[in-house]
Amino acid sequence: MSKILEVKNLCKTYVVNKRQNNVLKNVNFGVDEGEMVAVMGPSGSGKSTLLYTVSGMDSMTAGKVEFCGRDISKLNAKELAGLRLNQMGFIFQQMYMLRNLNVLDNIILPARQSKANKLSANEKTERAKELMRKLGIIEIADNDINEVSGGQLQRACICRCMINNPKMIFADEPTGALNRTSSDEVMEELGKINRDGTTIMLVTHDAKVAAKCTRVMYIVDGNIKGEYNLGRYSADTELRDRERSINNWLIEQGW
């Protein structure tokens, strides 16, 4: 498999009150096309900073990040915005949507903003509806965002992130604000998207979520301390054993 993401000697430093905080320190890793990679670690270890930096949402202090062969550090703000809009998808723990738009229009919005998306307005609407059907939420298309459950809203966020056919999805605690049932439903949908070929990198604190990924990276104090290869998740009967093996490995890492 070819690398979709290549990270070399990545550093991220914040300066607060004239004091340097080295959040990421010479981080190196790669993500192959079609992988589903989880990033785990204690609070303050740099998980979210890593996700935001490698996706171009935050600037790097030093190092190199290549996305589909392009060095994102060499892109200007407009080029980065275009890359994120057209080739990346984003899901967050907090389900950010515009309150003045209904659920369907929130999903369509990135397609309307994209010059690279050549579908007609009607075709963009039909694609959004098809994504909603796949994720089982077509019945809330005309609802306001405050009229649906958290699980439904997060699945709508998945639809929105898929509207422009991204090559990779970056998710920061996508199940963190959900109950167990909704969390399982969201992970089931992300698993389907991954099996269809979309690469996913997600931050999580939940071993059950990580158990459905192909690989887990453990980060401590801005460094990747270890990696655990699980292979592809294929059946619910495997989940308990995969979760147990991850928990044992996390204990070994100092979790």
Helix axes 150-162 and 121-134, enclosed angle (nearest 10): 130
What is the pairing mode between strands 168-172 and 199-203? parallel
CATH H-level superfamily of 3-253: P-loop containing nucleotide triphosphate hydrolases (3.40.50.300)
pLDDT of residue 240: 93
What pLDDT score was predicted for residue 1? 67
Nearest to 75 by CA among 52, 51, 57, 49: 57
Q: What's the whole-number mean pLDDT along residues 196-214?
A: 96
Is 90 exceeded by the pLDDT of residue 214? yes
Q: How far apart are CA 115 and CA 118, in angstroms?
A: 7
List pLDDT tens digits, range 164-173. 999 999 999 9
Work out the mean pLDDT of the chain and round it to a whole number: 94
Question: Tens digit of pLDDT for each residue in 59-76?
Answer: 999 999 999 999 999 999
Quick one: DSSP state of residue 12? E
| Strand boundaries in the chain, DSSP class E | 3-16, 19-32, 36-40, 62-67, 70-71, 88-92, 168-172, 199-203, 215-220, 223-229
What tens digit of pLDDT does each residue of 79-118 get? 999 999 999 999 998 888 999 999 999 999 999 999 999 9
Beta strands 199-203 and 88-92: pairing type? unpaired
Q: What is the pLDDT of residue 29?
A: 97
Helix (H) / strand (E) element for 49: namely helix 47-54
pLDDT tens figures, 119-164: 999 999 999 999 999 999 999 999 999 999 999 999 999 999 999 9
Provide the pLDDT confidence category of residue 174 given band limits of 50, 70 and 90.
very high
Question: What are the sequence ranges of the domains in the chain?
Answer: 3-253
Is residue 207 within 8 A of residue 243, CB to CB? The reply is: yes
For 215-244, what is the mean pLDDT? 94
Average pLDDT over residues 236-243: 92
pLDDT tens-digit map of 20-64: 888 999 999 999 999 999 999 999 899 999 999 999 999 999 999
AA letter at 127: R
